[in-house]
């Protein structure tokens, strides 16, 4: 609950009084079983197609909960399987105007093509496929962080922060 309240504050703050913690725990218990084939698996070493159904199901179950939705679902999945699931947000999933993405160095270089992913389990699965393709062969430079977490940090610094800064005029980081 603390992680939802801090890591997903923008959405969770509206449901703190009505959030059904017992239902949430039941869903997590169910998903722990559903996702058990991913225990210890790394995104880059896995056959995503083999795990498509449980990935889509898990994301959709979490995303339909008010206070969690799409960004929170990816964060919870990452916490459950930090070697496998990459976090995303509305910026990374392409939910803002296309013109903002076309300005990004990462898009202009051709490394990350502009794409608006559907906010659903299917869209999240497609996002994982893109991550697996784009970052194949890389390893985390830090043994304390999974490659999935490094990809998240890369996406944040190359997609989320520049677009948020341009749209909201955020101060420079650091």
Asked if 56 and 122 count as a contact pair (C-beta separation under 8 A), the reply is: yes
CA 25 to chain centre: 20
* pLDDT band at 19; cut points 50, 70, 90: low
Query: In whole angstroms, what is the distance from residue 14 CA to residue 156 CA?
Result: 24
Residue 8 has pLDDT above 80, yes or no: no
Instruction: Over range 69-89, report the average pLDDT.
Output: 93
Query: In whole angstroms, what is the distance from residue 71 CA to residue 67 CA?
Result: 10
What was the pLDDT predicted at 28?
Answer: 87
Query: In whole angstroms, what is the distance from residue 1 CA to residue 13 CA?
Result: 11
Instruction: Over range 159-166, report the average pLDDT.
Output: 93
pTM: 0.86
Tokens of 36: 């058990």
Phi then psi for 139, rounded to 5 degrees?
A: -130, 155
Residue 171 has pLDDT above 50, yes or no: no
User: What mean pLDDT is reported for the chain?
Assistant: 88
């Amino acid at each position: 609950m603390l992680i939802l309240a801090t890591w997903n504050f923008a959405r969770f703050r509206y449901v703190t009084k009505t959030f059904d913690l017992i239902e949430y725990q039941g869903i997590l218990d169910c998903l722990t079983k559903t996702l058990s084939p991913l225990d210890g698996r790394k995104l880059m070493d896995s056959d995503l197609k083999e795990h498509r159904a449980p990935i889509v199901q898990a994301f959709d179950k979490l995303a339909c909960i008010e206070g969690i939705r799409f960004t929170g679902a990816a964060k919870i999945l990452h916490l459950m399987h930090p070697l496998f699931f990459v976090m995303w947000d509305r910026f990374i999933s392409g939910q803002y105007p296309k013109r903002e993405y076309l300005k990004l160095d990462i898009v202009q270089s051709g490394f990350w093509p502009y794409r608006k992913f559907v906010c659903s389990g299917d869209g999240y699965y497609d996002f994982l496929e893109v991550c697996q393709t784009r970052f194949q062969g890389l390893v985390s430079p830090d043994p304390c962080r999974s490659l999935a977490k490094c990809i998240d940090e890369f996406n944040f610094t190359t997609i989320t922060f520049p677009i948020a800064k341009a749209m909201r005029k955020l101060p420079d980081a650091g």
